[in-house]
Amino acid sequence: MTSSTPPPHVALFPSAGMGHLLPFLRLAATLNSHGCHVTLITAEPTVSISESDHISTFLRFNPKINHQSLQVQPLDSSTDISDPFFKQFEAIRRSLHLVTPMLKSTSPPVTSIVTDITVSASMAEAVSELNIPSYVLCTTSAKFFSLVCRLPVLISDPVNFEAEKIQIPGVAPIAKSSIPPPFLIPGHFFVKELLANATSFPKFKGILINSFTEFEPQTLKALNDGKVMHGLPPVLPIGPLPAVDYPIKEVNEESQCRILQWLDTQPNRSVIYLSFGSRTALPVDQITEIAKALEICSYRFVWILKLSKVDKEDREDLVDILGQTFLNKVKNRGIVIKEWVDQEKILSHSATGGFVSHCGWNSIMEAAEWGVPVVAWPLFGDQRVNAEVVVDAGLGVWDRSWSGQRVVEAEEIVKKVAEVMDGGEMIMRRAELVRVEAMRAVGDGGSSDASYVKAFF
């Protein structure tokens, strides 16, 4: 950018769910710090209070970022979609035509737009008349993204698609058991949406992805060599997207302080952190086994126990679920909490030595950024493919039978956690290498840093 060129003005449109919103907020802040004008467009009402809280606080602490709301019409009750986030994706798709007049009236004029993968087909259509470069921000792994890109071909060849290992040129094979079951159901609404979105990718100028070259080298190369999808634009890794520091309203300050102060008093890398993300509630029998595991093992721990799918408005007390005896037994060795925490503060703490994770992609990028080895415990959606990536990148371990299909027993949990916590130098060294590579990627002139220049300047 020369001094006479006006700065780019980037409009960002996340869809629904914290796992989609947070990387957009991070991208908004990063672009702003690179000198871009940024307009954040959010769909309202949001599905969860978490999302509206994050949006409002983020905007308050980043006053240079403009905001526009897109009012979406909630779907009527006759829809057969039950997942609240999928309902919202659909409601957004139906309202996206309203984005065009919004973008046309923005001053200074918008020079590019970044949208979420879940609504890419509708967005490509809505903004086509504006003739500005548009990008997709992919919030999952490059490996899962390559599966989505390849879906039209795979579906047209059911024999190959149903083989035990799915082959995508240039990409490590994907186990059939890692594929979300709806992908294998012809005509499933989720598959129809994915197909429409995948087919729209060639209409974009590029795909930004919250991953980094050194973490998924083979897959990113295959995508950019045109092996995975014909006509796919450049896939530009920009990860790990850095956290944005703002006081999150729903974080219970007292609980957060309690965790951080407690971590301050624990030895280096002695604590295992367990969290299954913002939208996954484990079945009660699985929660019981985790509690048993934490009781019989000797590790210190921080366990975020989410009891409901959307917001953390859980009525039940921890004591009702876990029992007073358990809480008493572990009280000097661990913390169980059901509120939202600032995860990055826990992962970046020197006392944290391991992360039992559902492999939501944001969590994996955060573990990579801070070099925390992962015990992968994927449950649904893209998480199993993400777990494959974790293992291939050397960031952690995964017992493939841990996939949300059965209750994993306490003894198994103890054994797997020990692989990370007592795994010795090897596992720590590999995670540390990932951290150094992540830091280089986003540093000046690094592979992810270079992608910003390619896309926006």
How much is the CA Rg of the chain, to the nearest whole Å? 22
Selecting among 9, 37, 54, 116, the annotated active-site residue is 116
* Of 19, 133, 371, 396, the one binding ligand UDP by CB under 6 A: 19
Q: What's the closest the beta carbon of residue 362 comes to ligand UDP, in angstroms? A: 3
For residues 31 and 41, what is the distance between their CA atoms, to the nearest angstrom? 15
* Of 8, 381, 396, 423, the one binding ligand UDP by CB under 6 A: 381
C-alpha 229: how far from chain center: 23
- Identify whether 116 is a catalytic site residue: yes
* Contact between 203 and 172 (Cβ < 8 Å): no
> Given the rule CB under 6 A, which of 68-76, 103-111, 378-386, 413-421 is the region that contacts ligand UDP?
378-386
Q: Which is nearer to ligand UDP, 189 or 440 (CB)?
A: 189
Q: What's the closest the beta carbon of residue 442 comes to ligand UDP, in angstroms? A: 16
Q: What's the closest the beta carbon of residue 7 comes to ligand UDP, in angstroms? A: 28
Sign of CA dihedral 242, 427, 223, 445: positive
3-state helix vs strand vs coil in the chain, percent to 5:
45, 15, 40
Q: What residue type is 438 in one-letter code?
A: A
Please enumerate in sequence order all residues whose Cβ is within 8 A of that of 435, keeping only pairs 6 or more positions apart, or say none: 368, 369, 370, 371
Q: Is 200 in the site for ligand UDP (CB under 6 A)?
A: no
Q: Listing from the earlier edge strand, what are the strands of the sheet with 374-376? A: 334-337, 300-304, 271-275, 352-357, 374-376, 396-398
* Of 9, 54, 150, 279, the one binding ligand UDP by CB under 6 A: 279
Give the tokens for residue 28: 């908004």
Q: What's the closest the beta carbon of residue 310 comes to ligand UDP, in angstroms? A: 11
Q: In which element (H, E) is residue 383 found?
A: helix 383-392
Q: Which is nearer to ligand UDP, 216 or 382 (CB)?
A: 382
Residues 85-104 that bind ligand UDP (CB under 6 A): 85, 89
Residues 338-367 that bind ligand UDP (CB under 6 A): 340-344, 360-363, 366
The dihedral over CA atoms of 253, 258, 262, 264, expressed in degrees to the nearest 10, equals: 30
* Of 210, 213, 256, 278, the one binding ligand UDP by CB under 6 A: 278
Q: Is 239 in the site for ligand UDP (CB under 6 A)?
A: no
Selecting among 9, 20, 54, 358, the annotated active-site residue is 20
Q: Is 181 in the site for ligand UDP (CB under 6 A)?
A: yes
Phi-psi domain of 56 (left: phi exceeds 0; alpha: psi -120 through 50; beta: other): alpha
Rule CB under 6 A: which residues touch ligand UDP? 17-20, 22, 83, 85, 89, 117-118, 139-140, 144, 148, 180-182, 193-194, 197, 275, 277-280, 304, 340-344, 360-363, 366, 380-382, 404
